[in-house]
Each structure stands twice: as C-alpha cells, then as structure tokens.
Amino acid sequence: MCRMKSYGKTLVCLAAAALLACLFSGCSSLRKVKDIKVTSCGLESYSMQGLRSLSAVLALGIDNPAMSFTVTSLDGVIKYNGEDFATYTTTGQVEVDGRCVKVYDVPCTATLSDGVRMATLLSIIRKGSMEGFTTDLSAKVRLRNGMGKTLRFKGLDIQEMMNKDSGPK
C-alpha cells in the first residue's frame, strides 16, 4: 500500500513537471510573438481615388521569429511631425510565413486627415523625403489553430523603414 502511494506521488510530480514545461514553452512562444518586427516599408504602386484618398500596394518587411500567421486586418494612422496626416487600412488578408524575414505585398487604402491641406501634401511630395513621418498601426492576426491576437506598434519611423534594405521577396 505504501508503495502505491509513493508511485502515485511520483506520477503526480511528473505530470506537474510536464504541465509546467508545457506552460513555459507556451510562454516562450508568446515572447516570440512579441518579438515580431516591421523591418521595412516601400510603395509598390498606387492610384488616386479622388482628391483625398488613394489605393496602394505596400511592400512590408516583416521579421517573424514566431510561427506562421494570417494578418486579417491592419489599420493605422500616419503622423507628420506628431500631427495626424492620414489613416489607412488593408483591403485583404496577408499570409505571413513563420520563422523568417520576408517582404509581403499588402494592398491598402489611405485617406488624408481632415486638417491636411493639399498645399501641405504637394510641398512634402516636392521635398521627396519622408522625414518627420511616423505611423501607429494595429494588426489583427490569426494563428493556424484559430487563436487570434491584436499586435500594436507605435511611433514607427517611416523614413527609417524606407531606408532599410527590403531583403528577399
């Protein structure tokens, strides 16, 4: 009888150790999700949709040390010297490969904020620089097992991202 109790305690201890190992490996995966980075951004193509909006395809570089996932929506605000300049949103889903650095084509639409005048936009275009532009973005992602998460990035420097090498496609 005493031997049976000892065996049962050992089994419970092993099960507890296995459970803890699973939890810690899950935490490791969560840390990897937090390490996802937007590494570059470029404009592949665009077309004007009236005077205040456009449709575009962005080349977005993503460093993903975690598992593959699907970006189901991506919304953001572009700021110029700290003031809202435009809002944007994706028009489709993007499949992001796991454990790699890759550039993805992301179709989106953008609309100038109400306070932005066309003269400001034209002077920025003439300048030819993205200095002073930052973006805040929110991306809803879904893992293959159906779980979802919203990733938020604040104050990404657009000039810095555009100067980086986009890497292989």
Q: Is residue 10 very low, low, confident or very high in pLDDT (cuts 50, 70, 90)?
A: very low
Task: Tell me if 76 is assigned to some domain.
Answer: yes
> Is the model's pLDDT at 26 over the cut of 90?
no
Task: Tell me if 96 is assigned to some domain.
Answer: yes
Distance in angstroms (rounded) separating the CA atoms of residues 111 and 95:
25
Taking the whole predicted model, whether its pTM rises above 0.75 is answered as: no
Write out pLDDT tens, residues 60-87: 888 999 888 898 998 999 999 999 999 9
> Is the model's pLDDT at 30 over the cut of 90?
no
Task: Tell me if 169 is assigned to some domain.
Answer: no
State whether 42 and 93 are in the same domain: yes
Domain that holds residue 157: 37-163
The structure tokens listed for 66 are 């975690």
State whether 4 and 61 are in the same domain: no
The structure tokens listed for 149 are 């998460």
State whether 26 and 42 are in the same domain: no
State whether 7 and 46 are in the same domain: no
Q: Is residue 125 very low, low, confident or very high in pLDDT (cuts 50, 70, 90)?
A: confident
pLDDT value for 164: 61
State whether 79 and 157 are in the same domain: yes
pLDDT value for 66: 84
State whether 30 and 64 are in the same domain: no
Task: Tell me if 168 is assigned to some domain.
Answer: no
What's the rounded mean pLDDT across residues 90-112?
92
State whether 55 and 136 are in the same domain: yes
| Count: domains in the chain | 2
Q: Is residue 31 very low, low, confident or very high in pLDDT (cuts 50, 70, 90)?
A: low
State whether 42 and 105 are in the same domain: yes
Q: Is residue 17 very low, low, confident or very high in pLDDT (cuts 50, 70, 90)?
A: very low
State whether 48 and 131 are in the same domain: yes
Q: What Å distances lie between residue 55 and 12, 51, 74, 88, 91, CA to CA?
A: 59, 12, 14, 9, 9
